[in-house]
Amino acid sequence: MTTFATPGPLTPILTKGWDEERSWTLDSYLSRGGYEGLKRANTMEAAEIVNAVKASGLRGRGGAGFPTGLKWSFLPPDDGRARYLVVNADESEPGTCKDIPTIMANPHVLIEGVAITSRAINCRHAFIYLRGEVVHVYRRLLNAIKEAKEAGILSDLEITAHAGAGAYICGEESALLDSLEGRRGHPRIKPPFPAVAGLYARPTVVNNVESIAQVVGIFRNSPEWYASMGTEKSKGHGIFSLSGHVKNPGQFEAPFGITMRELIDMAGGIREGHTLKFWTPGGSSTPIFTEAELDIPLDYESVGAAGSMLGTRALQVFDETVSVVRVVTRWAEFYQHESCGKCTPCREGTYWIKQIMYRLEKGQGLPGDVDLLDEIAHNIAGRSFCPLGDAAATPITSGIKKFREEFEAGLNTAARELFPYEASAVYARGGVR
């Protein structure tokens, strides 16, 4: 019987080697056991690969947490024609910062994961959809693909790195596919789902960068090794992006089930002389938590039961100097700007949310504004064409629920007066830049 050592609080697996010199090169990756998982997968049939991923318990790391192996199995029987893998690297959720650093520091782990996944679904052409703004990351990915191709690692698999035009909506899988096809990124009507009619109307698997990269460890080690980490229903490990008012923000790769209190301690605690006020477990689109939720295990089930979502594990930390109204206003600006305008609840709702938030931030709110704001948010949530509407409504409803008095204060007092903005500023070492 195979036995596994109890994982520690941190598990540097995807992040292993990030601090090595030229960690992104093929030689560096091979020295760390790179492409050994692909060698093993190449000896297996497609169905065996899918079953191994199912057995590992791997869930999608893009926010939804849907079982990855099950998602692959939704593809119809192979008819001998084109089938595609599309990797969603359009990382744009405010506070999320894990996929881009992964590609920057270790692009070959993604390429190896793409090769294994492509074999599992009988795909001969895979696409990686990257944000066009991150030019340095794009160039590094292109070079890594070239290295793998020239080394004969990819065999007949074609991998295309596609630079998107920079739109949050393209993080939604069907809008991403429209963008890949050269059209404006708009979410599609479902069904049909991408598994049936995705890219170029052919069966397509769309997965997040981390989801695909995690596949490598399953085949380099074993499904049992992967399943030995995490919790009963949230297996494995993940990258937790900790930012904001902590002494040492950064990436922490840990098994699911770790708590926010533990992560804050690893980050050196809240900045000197301050206390925690609120935090987000999965980025700006997830309901906010306070100190009361610090000991909740960070896994999909526990966070969901507590009234929020684990999402992309974008853990934003805010101390007592921060105005909730100001933060929510910035998020409202973002979602209104990024709304594609396809559906009325989101297009109109995000606009009016922004206007009301502007009034409250300036201390010029009108009687009934807080209730009106809450009503608009509830009329967006669950009624928009895609989840962007839900993402826009969530900060509003959760902010009012947790800190209604601050929103009410916006009827007569500006947020800047209650919480001077300079007090919450975080400066780079060595001065302002």
Q: Report the b/e string of 274-298 with b at 16+ CB within 10 A.
A: bebbbbbbbbbbbbbbeeebeebbb
Q: Which two tokens stand for residue 25?
A: 């090169």
The stretches of 15-91 forming alpha helices (DSSP H) are 26-31, 36-41, 46-56, 68-73
Whether a cis peptide bond, with omega within 30° of 0, leads into 203 is: no
User: Which residues touch 398 (CB under 8 Å, ≥6 apart)?
Assistant: 287, 288, 308
pLDDT at site 417: 97
Tokens found for residue 413: 């007092």
8 Å CB contact between 213 and 17: no
Q: Report which of 253, 268, 317, 266 is spatially closest to residue 289, judged by C-alpha positions.
A: 317
- Tell me, what's the pLDDT at 62? 84
* Distances 339 to 15, 167, 309, 371 between C-alpha atoms, Å: 33, 9, 21, 23
Q: Is 35 helix (H, G, I), strand (E, B) or coil?
A: coil
Phi then psi dihedrals of residue 242, to 5 deg: -100, 120
Give residue-wise pLDDT tens across range 408-424. 999 999 999 999 999 99
Q: What is the distance between the alpha carbons of residues 361 and 325, in angstroms, rounded to a whole number?
A: 6
- 291 with 252: CB under 8 angstroms? no
Report the distance separating Cα 185 and Cα 341, nearest Å. 11
Q: Cis link prior to 345 (omega < 30° from 0)?
A: no
Cα distance between residue 20 and residue 299, in whole Å:
30
Tell me the pLDDT tens digit for each residue of 357-377: 999 999 999 999 999 999 999
Going along the chain from its start, the domains and CATH numbers come out as: 26-227 (3.40.50.11540), 237-319 (3.10.20.600), 324-421 (1.20.1440.230)
DSSP assignment, residue 385? Answer: S
What pTM was estimated for this model as a whole? 0.93
DSSP string, 193-255: PHHHH-GGGS-EEEEEHHHHHHHHHHHHT-HHHHHTSB-SSSBSEEEEEEEESBSS-EEEEEE
Kindly give the parts of the chain with pLDDT less than 50. Answer: 1-5, 431-433
pLDDT digits (tens, 9 = 90+) for 298-352: 999 999 999 999 988 999 999 999 999 999 999 999 999 999 999 999 999 999 9
